Copies of this chain bind each other. A is one copy, B any other.
Amino acid sequence: MTDLSEMGKKAKTAEFQLSQLGTVQKNKALEQMAVALETNSAKILAANQKDLENAKNNSMSEAMQDRLLLDDDRIKKMADGLRQIAEQSDPIGKVDRGWTTEDGLDIIQERVPLGVIGIIFEARPNVTVDAAGLCFKSGNAAFLRGGKEAINSNIALSDTLRTALKDFGLDDNSVQLIHDTSHEVAQEMMELSDYLDVLIPRGSGRFIKMVVNKAKVPIIETGAGNCHIYVDESADQAQAIKIIENAKVQRPSVCNAVEKILVNQNIADEFLPKLAEKLKQEQVEIRGDAGVQKILPDVIPATEDDWYTEYNDYIIAIKVVPDLNSAIEHINHYNTQHSEAILTENYQNARQFQKQIDAAVLYVNASTRFTDGGKFGFGAEIGISTQKLHARGPMGANELTTTKYLVNGDGQIRN
């Protein structure tokens, strides 16, 4: 039986050492970890092979098998991910603000690690490396639990990282993986409040909801994305079609794919047939409101439910709106506050859209698919927060920190 409390204690000890490391030391260790992945690729691929065989025996879908698969190129990408994390600025020790109070106390608010970060995730083994790297850079101990489908790969990856840390003279418990993939141990991890400062679930919407409901440890929720693109009257229509196509079909299964298109009524007659043609080429099913049905008589009528639904599939719902205000109202009502875009050449409309919509990321003339830690330039991401507390949008090393106040006095007492 896995003793999570024992692992938790080890994580706390490792975390204290980690929190005191300087930036150059951490970056050198990340480079060591990257080299170790490359050096040990044969061992990692052999372990991955076992997972793939099990997957085949269990009739896992091709798409899922592809997520599980590692090869030399993917290992190189994971190693390069660690190098990119090393290149990022260190969030620890950064001073957010400082001032002197009326009592003559000097106050500094400084960024410090959160502590021990639990990550619970499904099949993809690259999460092991990304999460370990981001936690390490931000001075946090990583406490990982991956899915049983990838357990052999995850053990090989975490053992490689742990050995690299040890060889570098650091506590290898900075990165720990739970080897027992039973549901009982997962549940115990979700209640490990004495040792975990936060728990971040990564995986399908259903998986995240399950963790949110069961966890007693503070959670950062990631994932849900009912993303909209509004095509303004002044939009560059050729560009609009390219952006919508990209946002829908470049990878329909992910949270930053677009699910809803709102089109200004003054261009609907001209724009919708061109858009429909492109989407049909890409095998995308179109559902439309009454305004769309008038112009494209063969679309499936959209129901009220459609406006709330995140399809994660080759389906899109389109609505004709009278103006920008209606588009903003619709989005603020139905969105999941993830990523929303306006396509426009009108300055004032762009500004109003970004100012009045409540969401993590607001685009002008770009695909919603850019909501991603890598694309934002964070080196990797620990997930995309869909909550407002603590962190919102793509989370990199910076989002894995909290602050402490350092207050320096010369004998002040309170009246």
Contacts and interface: CB of A to CB of B under 8 A. Distances in A.
A365 interface: yes
A112 B358 CA distance: 9
A114 interface: yes
A101 interface: yes
Given A101-B375, A114-B389, A366-B413, 16 more contacts: A99-B377, A197-B389, A198-B389, A220-B389, A236-B411, A242-B413, A247-B413, A365-B412, A367-B413, A370-B407, A388-B402, A389-B390, A390-B390, A392-B403, A393-B403, A393-B404
Contacts of A324: none
11 contacts: A112-B358, A245-B413, A361-B407, A363-B409, A364-B407, A366-B411, A366-B412, A366-B413, A375-B414, A392-B402, A393-B404
A331 B369 CA distance: 46
Interface residues of A, number: 63
A107 interface: yes
A107 B246 contact: no
Interface string A232-274: 0000100100110111001000000000000000000000000
Interface in A379-394: 387-390, 392-393
Nearest to A246: B413
Interface of A: 16, 19-20, 99, 101-103, 105, 107, 112, 114-115, 197-198, 218, 220, 236, 239, 242-243, 245-247, 250, 332, 350, 354-356, 358-367, 369-370, 375-377, 387-390, 392-393, 402-414
Contacts of A367: 412-414
Given A105-B366, A409-B363, A404 B376 contact: no
A360 B243 contact: no
A250 B411 contact: no
Contacts of A393: 403-405
Number of copies: 2
Contacts of A409: 363-366, 370
Given A115-B358, A375-B103, A198 B388 contact: yes
Contacts of A363: 407-409
Contacts of A404: 354, 358-362, 392-393
A77 to B, nearest CB: 15
Nearest to A221: B218
Given A101-B376, A105-B366, A361 B405 contact: yes
